[in-house]
Amino acid sequence: MMQNYYYTKPTDDVVASKNQNYKLPKDYQIIPTSISAKLWNYIARTLAALFGWGYSRLFLKVHVKGKHKLKLVNQSGYFLYGNHTQPMGDVFTPLTIVSPYRFYAIAGQANWGIPFIGKHLVRYGGLPVGENLQESAKLIQAIKTLIHQKKVIAIYPEAHVWPYYTKIRPFSNTSMHFPVQLNVPSFTITTTYHKPKFGKRPKIIIYIDGPFSPDQALSHKKAQDKLYNKIRETMIERAQTSDYQYCHYVKK
């Protein structure tokens, strides 16, 4: 039976967790520095990557096209922009695309309240969205540090997950501020859904496109707008290849 999701506007959060209002403590450290934290960081990422391969490739049956494009900027930090359509897949699938030891993702603080995953996994790969100026400043500094260390940062600009949604929802261009300011490339990782040969669960194809570099000849705002338009247009074009609807979205 097809799952129905109800919404009033495309920015609604249609999936709520038990700890939806979870907030991190004020003294939260985004990038752990202690020896024990670094060790657990390595262990957690290794275990998450192993689980990711099984969950993503065997259970979800994800196929990735265009992974070779990432090698063009392998000596640089960069950003990944994706549509947010898999509650768990968007956490674990990227670990099968890029090195799990380089990967981070910007996420809402509610993700840290998810049982087990929030405490043991998200805390080492997640970059919490700031709820105030102080927290936002902490996030910005962490992003600068990680890009300087040649890490990979994923951003899901639609913000809220819509499971198996086949279109690209509206999103702001504010998340393109980072690659423009830091002058680093970006890629899109667009998840699409296709008719399966067997069963009802769709075949998932993730298309990687890029790199898209900020135009340094333009002002910051114009360069941000240009990058936003290119990324959004690319994601929309890829999403249009979806030919299978697994969940139904109903506007109230």
pLDDT in tens, 146-187: 999 999 999 999 999 999 999 999 999 999 999 999 999 999
pLDDT tens readout for residues 55-108:
999 999 999 999 999 999 988 999 999 999 998 899 899 999 999 999 999 987
Q: Which amino acid is at 36?
A: S
Residue 46 placed within a domain: yes
Q: What is the three-class DSSP state of 106?
A: strand
Residue 223 C-alpha from the chain's centroid:
22
Q: What is the CATH number of the domain that holds 158?
A: 3.40.1130.10
Number of domains in the chain: 1
Residue 72: give the domain boundaries: 30-245
pTM, to two decimals: 0.93
Spell out the SS3 assignment of 128-173: ECCCCHHHHHHHHHHHHHHHHCCCEEEECCCCCCCCCCCCCCCCCC
Residue 5 placed within a domain: no
Read off the tokens for 164: 């198996």
- With a CB cutoff of 8 Å and minimum separation 6, the contacts of 144 are 182
pLDDT of residue 212: 98
Residue 25 placed within a domain: no
C-alpha to C-alpha distance for 163 and 246, rounded to whole angstroms = 9
Q: Which amino acid is at 145?
A: T
Residue 154 placed within a domain: yes
Residue 234 placed within a domain: yes
pLDDT tens readout for residues 200-233:
889 999 999 999 999 999 999 999 999 999 999 9
The number of residues making up the chain comes to 252
Read off the tokens for 37: 């934290």
Residue 76 placed within a domain: yes
Per-residue pLDDT band for 245 (boundaries 50, 70, 90) equals very high
Contact 184, 195 (CB under 8 A): no
- With a CB cutoff of 8 Å and minimum separation 6, the contacts of 198 are none
